[in-house]
Amino acid sequence: MSSPAVADLAGPAIPPRTPAKFRAGLVPTVVALALIAVVWEAIARTSDGWVPGLAAIAESLVRILTTGSTYGDLVLTLRRLLIAFVAATVAGLAIGAMMGFSKSFEAFMRPLVVIGLAIPDPMYFILALLLLGTAEHVGMLALILAVIPFVVHGADTGVRNRDRGLDEMSRVYRLPRRTYWVDVLGRQIAPIAVASMRTSLAFSWKIVVLMEALTQPHGIGAQIYYAFRLLRPDDMIAYALIFVMIMKIIEVAVFAPLDRKTGDWSR
Amino acid sequence: MSPEDVSTAVSQISVRDVEITYPNGAVAVEDISLDVRHGEFLAILGPSGCGKSTLLQAVAGLLTPSRGEISIGGKPVTGAKNAHLPSIGYVFQEHRLLPWRTVEQNVELVLSAGGVPKAEWAERTTRYLSMLQIEHLRKRWPMQLSGGQRQRASISRALALEPSVVLMDEPFGTLDEVTARAMRSELLDVWQRTNRTFVFVTHSIREALFLADRVAVFTRGPARLIETIDIDLPRPRDYDSRELAALEGQVVARVLDVWGE
| A160 to chain B, closest Cα gap in Å | 18
Q: Average pLDDT for residues A228-253, to the nearest whole number?
A: 89
Per-residue pLDDT reduced to its tens digit, A175-214: 999 999 889 988 888 888 788 788 778 878 888 888 888 8
Reduced to 3 states (helix: H, G, I; strand: E, B; else coil), residue A74 is: helix
| A201 to chain B, closest Cα gap in Å | 27
Cα nearest neighbour of A263 on chain B: B100
Q: Average pLDDT for residues A121-126, to the nearest whole number?
A: 84
Note the pLDDT of residue A2: 40
pLDDT confidence of B1, banded at 50, 70, 90? very low
Return mean pLDDT, chain B: 90
Q: What ipTM does the predicted assembly reach?
A: 0.88
User: Which of B144, B184, B187, B199 would you mutate first to test chain A, the one with the most A CBs within 10 A?
Assistant: B144
Q: Average pLDDT for residues B144-173, to the nearest whole number?
A: 94
Q: Per CB distance under 8 Å, which residues of A are interface residues toward B?
A: 1-2, 4, 8-9, 11-12, 165-166, 168-169, 171-176, 179, 183-184, 187, 265-266
Distance of CA B151 to the CA centre of its chain: 13
Would you list the DSSP string of chain B?
--HHHHHT-S-SEEEEEEEEE-TTS-EEEEEEEEEE-TT-EEEEE--TTSSHHHHHHHHTTSS--SEEEEEETTEE-TT--GGGSPPEEEE-SS----TTS-HHHHHHHHHHHTT--HHHHHHHHHHHHHHTT-GGGTTS-GGGS-HHHHHHHHHHHHHHT--SEEEEESTTTTS-HHHHHHHHHHHHHHHHHHT-EEEEEES-HHHHHHH-SEEEEE-SSSB-EEEEEE--PPSSP-TT-HHHHHHHHHHHHHHHHHH--
Would you list the DSSP string of B140-205?
S-GGGS-HHHHHHHHHHHHHHT--SEEEEESTTTTS-HHHHHHHHHHHHHHHHHHT-EEEEEES-H
In chain B, where the domains are located? 3-86+164-259, 99-161
Return mean pLDDT, chain A: 84
pLDDT confidence of A140, banded at 50, 70, 90? confident
Note the pLDDT of residue A6: 37
Note the pLDDT of residue A19: 56
Give contacts of B101 with chain A, Cβ < 8 Å.
Answer: 183, 265
Lowest mean pLDDT among A6-10, B16-20, B141-145, B197-201: A6-10
Per-residue pLDDT reduced to its tens digit, B200-239: 999 999 999 999 999 999 998 789 999 999 999 999 999 9
Is a pLDDT exceeding 60 seen at residue B4?
Answer: no
Q: Average pLDDT for residues B69-93, to the nearest whole number?
A: 81
Lowest mean pLDDT among A32-41, A158-167, B39-48, B74-83: B74-83
Q: Average pLDDT for residues A30-42, to the nearest whole number?
A: 93
Q: Average pLDDT for residues A162-166, to the nearest whole number?
A: 92
Per-residue pLDDT reduced to its tens digit, B171-200: 999 889 999 999 999 999 999 999 999 999
Note the pLDDT of residue B257: 83
Of B85, B109, B152, the CB nearest to A183: B109
Q: Average pLDDT for residues B13-24, to the nearest whole number?
A: 92
Residues listed for chain B: 261
pLDDT confidence of A169, banded at 50, 70, 90? very high
Check: CB of residue B98 under 8 Å from CB of residue B109: yes
**Under CATH, what is the fold of the domain B3-86+164-259?**
Rossmann fold (3.40.50)
Note the pLDDT of residue A8: 38
Of B61, B114, B137, the CB nearest to A8: B137
pLDDT confidence of B246, banded at 50, 70, 90? very high
Note the pLDDT of residue B216: 96
Note the pLDDT of residue A159: 86
Closest CA to B165 of B204, B191, B128: B191
Lowest mean pLDDT among A80-84, A139-143, B3-7, B183-187: B3-7
Q: What is the pTM of this model?
A: 0.76
Q: Average pLDDT for residues B28-57, to the nearest whole number?
A: 93
pLDDT confidence of B10, banded at 50, 70, 90? low
Q: Would you call A179 and B113 a contact, using CB atoms and an 8 Å cutoff?
A: yes
Q: Average pLDDT for residues A135-149, to the nearest whole number?
A: 87
